[in-house]
Amino acid sequence: MTIHIMPLNDLREHDESTTCWCLPRVEWHEEALVIHNSADGRELTKPIGRRV
């Protein structure tokens, strides 16, 4: 199971993949967390957790 955390309404659509254009950081807990970076460098104030 992989959970993607990505910014809401970002300037660019993110791919739910570790090879997304934003070069997401992957952290391993009980599940893999893929933490995406926003296109405009804003903080992840309202991340979406999505299970794929």
The pair of structure tokens assigned to 3 is 């959970």
Site size for Zn ion (CB under 5 A): 4
Q: Residue 28 or residue 35: which is nearer to Zn ion going by CB?
A: 35
Compute CA 26 distance to the chain's CA centroid, rounded to the nearest angstrom: 9
Smallest separation, CB 22 to Zn ion (Å): 4
Give the contact letters, 7-46, x = binds to Zn ion (CB under 5 A), - = no. Answer: -------x-----x-x-------------x----------
